[in-house]
C-alpha cells in the first residue's frame, strides 16, 4: 500500500474554490468530485474486499457502525453448522467440531485486529455483560481504599447503567468524567468509550491510559466503535481491560457475541463477578467450590451461544490478509472526502476534523434530521439518526467506496433542498 494514494491521508485544509456536490462547475464541483472519487476508487487497495459482502447495487450502506453487512460466504457456513454439526453430529460437535474452544479460538482471531496477544481475548456474552465483568474486576484489582469509578460523561447509555450498578456492588461512587480531565488519587477505575457513538470523536487511548496509570487507576475501554475500524494497540499501550461488540465493523451479525480483553499481568487476579461453570478450572468436575480457570477462559460464564459465535468466526474470514493500518488509512481519506462533498450543504459537522480525533463515522447536525434520514433511506442511502438532530454515517472501509460517499452527499443535498 506504500505507493497508493491512500497511504498518507492528510488533514483537511481550507479549499480555494467550491467543494460541495451542489456547486455547478469547477475542479471540485460535481464533475471534479466525480473524477476524484473515480481516481480514489481505482487506487483503493481494499476495493476487492467489497465483493466479499452481500450488498444491494442500488443502496449506499453507511450504517455499518450499527450493523455490519453480511459476508457472502457466511450463509453456506451456517448451513453446514446447522445440518452437519448440529443436525448430524449433535452433542459430539462440542469436541469434534471444536464448539467448546470457540470462545478462545475466535478471541485469538480478534486479538490482532485490536492489537492484543494470543490468550488475552475471549468471546462470549453481550457488550453490557462484559462491561460489567471488566469494570467490577478492575475495581477489585485496584488499590483498596479508592472510592470512585469514573465513567465517560457522554458514554453510550448502557455503559452508564452498568457502571452505576457496578458502583453499588463495590460500594464506590460513580463520577461523570470528561476524557482529558485530571484523575485523582481516589479513582479506582475509569470507563471510557474509545469512539463516541454519537459524534464519532476518537479519544486518546494511549494518553488517557497513561494518565490513569500515573494516577494509580485501572482502565476499561469500550471499543464498540473502533474495533475493526482503526488500530487500537491494547498491548502496546498497557490497557488493563477492554470490551467490544462484533456486529459493527467486525460484521459478525445481529447480536453476535462480544469480546473481553484482560491484560496478561492481570489475568491471575481477574476476579469476575459472574463466575459461571464455563470459567471453572475443571468445568466438568461439577464441584461445589469455584476454582477459576487460567488465562482467557476465566472471562467465560455460561454455555456459549454457538450459532451466532460460529457465524462470527466465519465472518472474520474477510480479515484474512487485511491490515488494520490500511483500513485506517482508507477510513481517513474516505471521511475527508465525504466532508469535502457536503461542505456547502446546510449541515454542521459534529465529528472532529483532525484525524487524531476522528473514528470512522461522520456525524452531521441539521434541521429535521429524523425526517431527512427517513428520506435518505427511502432513496437508498442508509445511515441513522440520533436525537435530537444528528445524522450518522458509518464508513466501513472494507465495503464502502468513494463513489458511494459522493452519491450519499448528492442525495443528502437533494433531501435537504
Active site residues: 156, 222, 247-248, 392
Non-local (6+) Cβ contacts of 170 within 8 A are 136, 139, 140, 149, 188
- Reported as half-sphere exposure (CB side, CA atoms, 13 A), residue 351 has a value of 27
In the block, cell 492481570 appears at 266
Residue 322 and residue 398 in contact, taking contact as beta carbons nearer than 8 Å = yes
The helix/strand/coil state of 19 is coil
Written as nine digits, the cell of 62 is 453507511
Written as nine digits, the cell of 366 is 441539521
Alpha carbon 41 to its chain centroid, in Å, reads: 24
Phi, psi of 396 (to 5 degrees): -90, 105
CA distance 12 to 355: 9
Between strands 241-244 and 60-61, the pairing is: unpaired
**Cross-strand partners of 392:** 363, 384
Using CA of residue 69, residue 72, residue 75, residue 77, what is the dihedral sign?
Answer: negative
The helix/strand/coil state of 219 is strand
Amino acid at each position: 500500500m506504500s505507493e497508493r494514494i491512500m497511504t498518507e491521508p492528510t488533514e483537511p485544509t481550507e479549499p480555494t474554490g467550491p467543494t460541495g456536490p451542489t456547486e455547478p462547475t469547477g475542479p471540485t464541483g460535481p464533475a471534479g468530485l466525480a473524477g476524484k472519487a473515480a481516481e480514489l476508487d481505482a487506487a483503493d487497495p481494499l476495493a476487492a474486499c467489497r465483493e466479499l459482502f452481500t450488498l444491494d447495487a442500488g443502496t449506499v450502506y453507511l450504517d455499518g457502525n450499527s450493523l455490519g453487512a453480511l459476508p457472502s460466504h457466511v450463509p453456506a457456513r451456517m448451513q453446514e453448522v446447522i445440518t452437519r454439526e448440529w443436525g448430524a453430529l449433535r452433542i459430539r460437535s462440542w469436541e469434534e467440531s471444536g464448539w467448546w474452544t470457540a470462545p478462545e479460538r475466535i478471541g485469538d482471531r480478534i486479538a490482532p485486529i485490536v492489537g492484543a496477544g494470543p490468550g488475552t481475548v475471549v468471546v462470549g456474552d453481550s457488550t453490557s455483560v462484559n462491561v460489567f465483568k471488566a469494570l467490577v474486576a478492575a475495581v477489585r484489582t485496584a488499590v483498596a481504599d479508592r472510592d470512585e469509578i469514573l465513567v465517560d460523561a457522554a458514554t453510550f447509555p448502557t455503559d452508564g447503567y452498568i457502571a452505576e450498578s457496578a458502583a453499588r456492588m463495590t460500594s464506590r461512587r460513580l463520577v461523570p468524567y470528561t476524557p482529558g480531565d485530571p484523575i485523582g488519587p481516589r479513582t479506582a477505575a475509569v470507563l471510557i468509550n474509545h469512539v463516541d457513538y454519537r459524534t464519532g470523536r476518537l479519544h486518546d487511548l494511549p494518553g488517557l491510559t497513561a494518565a490513569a496509570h500515573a494516577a494509580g487507576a485501572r482502565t476499561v475501554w469500550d471499543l464498540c466503535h473502533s474495533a475493526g475500524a482503526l488500530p487500537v494497540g491494547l498491548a502496546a499501550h498497557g490497557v488493563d481491560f477492554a470490551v467490544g461488540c462484533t456486529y459493527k465493523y467486525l460484521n459478525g451479525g445481529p447480536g453476535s457475541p462480544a469480546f473481553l480483553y484482560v491484560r496478561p499481568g492481570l489475568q491471575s487476579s481477574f476476579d469476575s463477578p459472574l463466575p459461571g461453570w464455563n470459567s471453572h478450572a475443571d468445568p466438568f468436575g461439577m464441584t461445589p467450590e469455584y476454582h477459576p480457570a487460567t488465562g482467557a477462559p476465566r472471562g467465560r460464564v455460561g454455555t456459549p451461544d454457538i450459532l451466532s459465535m460460529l457465524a462470527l468466526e466465519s465472518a472474520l474470514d474477510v480479515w484474512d490478509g487485511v491490515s488494520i493500518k490500511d483500513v485506517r488509512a482508507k477510513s481517513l481519506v474516505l471521511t475527508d472526502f465525504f466532508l469535502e462533498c457536503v461542505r456547502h450543504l446546510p449541515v454542521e459537522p459534529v465529528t472532529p476534523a483532525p484525524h487524531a480525533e476522528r473514528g470512522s463515522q461522520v456525524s452531521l447536525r441539521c434541521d429535521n434530521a429524523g425526517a431527512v434520514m427517513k428520506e435518505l433511506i427511502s432513496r437508498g442511502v442508509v445511515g441513522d439518526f440520533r436525537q435530537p438532530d444528528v445524522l450518522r454515517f458509518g464508513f466501513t472501509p472494507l465495503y464502502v467506496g468513494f463513489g458511494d460517499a459522493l452519491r450519499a452527499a448528492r442525495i443528502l443535498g437533494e433531501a435537504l433542498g
